[in-house]
C-alpha cells in the first residue's frame, strides 16, 4: 500500500511501511505498521486484537505503537526497528479463531521476514501456537514475556526509589496498580512478595475478585480512582494515555512506572510531571523486558532465563543515565529520554542493556 495514503494521519511520522490486512472470509481486518527499515535487521512488534471504533483509530494505534517499539528497541540496545500489527475485532467476535489466525499468519508471511511478531492484548497462547504453526516469523512461544516485563519494571522501580529516597527497598512502600492483565498481575506478584502495600483496579470483575482472593492484603479501588491514590508509585498497566491532561493533576504519587505503552498523552504531560516533581520512568524503558526476552529467543532459537535476567539487570543503568542528564539539563525525564533515543538512532549506536 502506498505510504502516501497515510501521511496525513495524526500518528504518521515518517513510517517506512503500512500494510492493510483484509480477508473477508474470516472477517480479518487490520494494519501492520513499520516505523523504519534497517538493511540487515527486521522490524519487531507484537500483534494486538482490539475493538476499534474506526479504521482510522486502528491505523493510528498501529503507527503510534510501531514508533514506540522503535524507541523501545533502541533504548534496549537492540538493532531491530519497530513495528506493530493491530487487528480489528469483528462485531460479534471471531467465529473461528484457528482459521482467523492461520490466515493472519499467512499475511505475515507475505512480508518475507520484514516483520517479526508475537502476542499483545487480545491474543492468547493458543492463538500464538496457531500463528507459529503457519509462519516462521512468529516469536514468543513458551517465553514468559509478561514475567520478564514485570521483572524489568520491578528493577526500574527499585532504581527510582533509590534515586528519590536513597533506598530501593520495596517493603512498606505503597503502590497503585492500574490493570491486572498479564503484566500487571506479574508485577503484583513481585511487589506483594516483597511486602509492598498495594491498591489495585481492574475492569474485569472476575479477575479482580480472583486477585483479591489470591492476595488478601491488596485493596481494590474503582478504575476511575486508582491514579488518585496517595502512594509512592503509580503503575499504569492497562491501555494508553492513562497519564493525560486531566489525570496528571490528580496524581498523588512520587513515581510513575508501569507496563502500559504510550502512558503519556503527549510531551506536555511529561513536562507537567517534571514540574510537579514526579519521577516518570519512560514506558519504552520500563516495559522493555518483554521485548528483550523474545529477542533472546529469536536470536538463540531458545530463550535462556539466566541470559535474559542478566540483560534486564542493565536496565536501571540506562535509567540512572537518564536521571543524571535530566538533572544536568533541568529538563523533563520524558524529553531527555526521547532525545537520547533519537541520538542513538541518528548515530546508530545503542545503550548499555546489551553491553554485558
List residues with catalytic annotation.
Answer: 84
Confirm whether residue 182 is marked as ligand binding: yes
DSSP 142: T
Q: Is 180 annotated among the ligand-binding residues?
A: yes
Give the residue from 174, 286, 289, 160 showing the smallest Cα distance to 229: 174
Residues 6+ apart with CB under 8 A from 309: 151
310 annotated as belonging to a binding site for a ligand: no
Any known ligand binding at 181? yes
Number of H helices, E strands in the chain: 12, 12
Take residue 236 and report the three cell numbers written for it: 499504569
222: DSSP letter: -
> Regarding beta strands 81-88 and 47-50, do their DSSP bridges make them parallel or antiparallel, or are they unpaired?
parallel
Q: With contact defined as beta carbons under 8 Å apart, do 78 and 48 qualify?
A: no
- Whether residue 163 contacts residue 200, with contact meaning beta carbons closer than 8 Å, is answered with no
The Cα 80–Cα 256 span in angstroms is 27
Q: Match 511529561 to its residue by C-alpha cell.
A: 270
199-to-151, 215, 216, 279 alpha-carbon distances in Å: 19, 11, 11, 19
CA distances from 251 to 277, 278, 334, 335 (A): 11, 9, 17, 20
- Count of alpha carbons within 13 Å of 254, Cβ hemisphere only? 13
Helices (H), 228-314: 267-276, 283-286, 289-300, 305-312
CA atoms within 13 A on the CB side of 130: 17
Binding residues for NAD(+): 179-184
Amino acid at each position: 500500500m502506498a505510504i502516501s495514503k497515510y501521511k496525513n494521519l495524526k500518528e504518521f511520522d515518517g513510517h517506512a511501511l503500512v500494510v492493510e490486512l483484509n480477508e473477508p472470509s474470516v472477517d480479518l481486518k487490520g494494519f501492520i505498521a513499520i516505523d523504519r527499515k534497517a538493511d540487515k535487521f527486521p522490524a519487531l512488534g507484537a500483534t494486538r486484537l482490539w475493538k476499534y471504533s474506526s479504521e482510522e483509530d486502528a491505523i493510528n494505534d498501529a503507527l503510534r505503537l510501531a514508533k514506540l517499539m522503535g524507541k523501545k528497541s533502541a533504548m534496549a540496545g537492540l538493532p531491530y526497528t519497530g513495528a506493530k500489527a493491530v487487528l480489528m475485532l469483528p462485531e460479534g467476535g471471531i467465529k473461528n479463531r484457528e482459521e482467523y489466525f492461520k490466515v493472519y499468519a499467512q499475511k505475515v508471511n507475505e512480508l518475507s521476514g520484514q516483520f517479526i511478531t508475537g502476542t499483545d492484548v487480545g491474543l492468547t497462547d493458543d492463538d500464538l501456537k496457531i500463528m507459529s504453526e503457519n509462519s516462521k516469523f512468529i516469536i514468543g512461544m513458551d517465553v514468559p514475556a509478561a514475567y520478564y516485563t514485570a521483572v524489568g519494571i520491578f528493577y526500574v522501580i527499585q532504581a527510582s526509589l533509590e534515586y528519590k529516597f536513597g533506598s530501593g527497598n520495596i517493603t512498606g512502600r505503597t503502590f497503585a496498580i492500574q490493570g491486572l492483565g498479564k503484566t500487571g498481575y506479574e508485577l503484583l506478584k513481585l511487589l506483594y512478595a516483597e511486602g509492598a502495600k498495594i491498591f489495585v483496579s481492574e475492569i474485569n470483575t472476575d479477575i479482580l475478585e480472583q486477585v483479591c482472593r489470591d492476595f488478601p492484603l491488596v485493596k481494590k479501588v474503582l478504575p476511575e480512582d486508582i491514579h488518585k491514590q496517595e502512594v509512592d508509585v503509580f503503575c499504569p498497566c492497562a491501555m494508553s494515555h492513562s497519564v493525560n491532561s486531566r489525570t496528571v493533576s490528580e496524581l498523588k504519587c512520587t513515581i510513575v512506572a508501569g507496563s502500559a505503552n504510550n502512558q503519556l498523552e503527549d510531551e506536555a504531560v511529561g513536562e507537567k510531571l517534571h514540574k510537579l516533581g514526579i519521577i516518570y520512568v519512560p514506558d519504552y524503558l520500563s516495559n522493555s523486558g518483554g521485548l528483550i526476552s523474545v529477542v533472546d529467543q529469536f536470536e538463540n532459537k531458545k530463550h535462556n532465563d539466566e541470559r535474559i535476567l542478566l540483560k534486564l539487570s542493565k536496565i536501571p543503568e540506562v535509567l540512572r543515565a537518564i536521571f543524571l542528564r535530566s538533572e544536568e539539563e533541568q529538563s523533563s525525564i520524558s524529553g531527555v529520554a526521547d532525545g537520547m533515543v533519537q541520538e542513538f538512532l541518528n548515530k546508530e549506536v545503542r545503550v548499555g542493556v546489551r553491553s554485558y
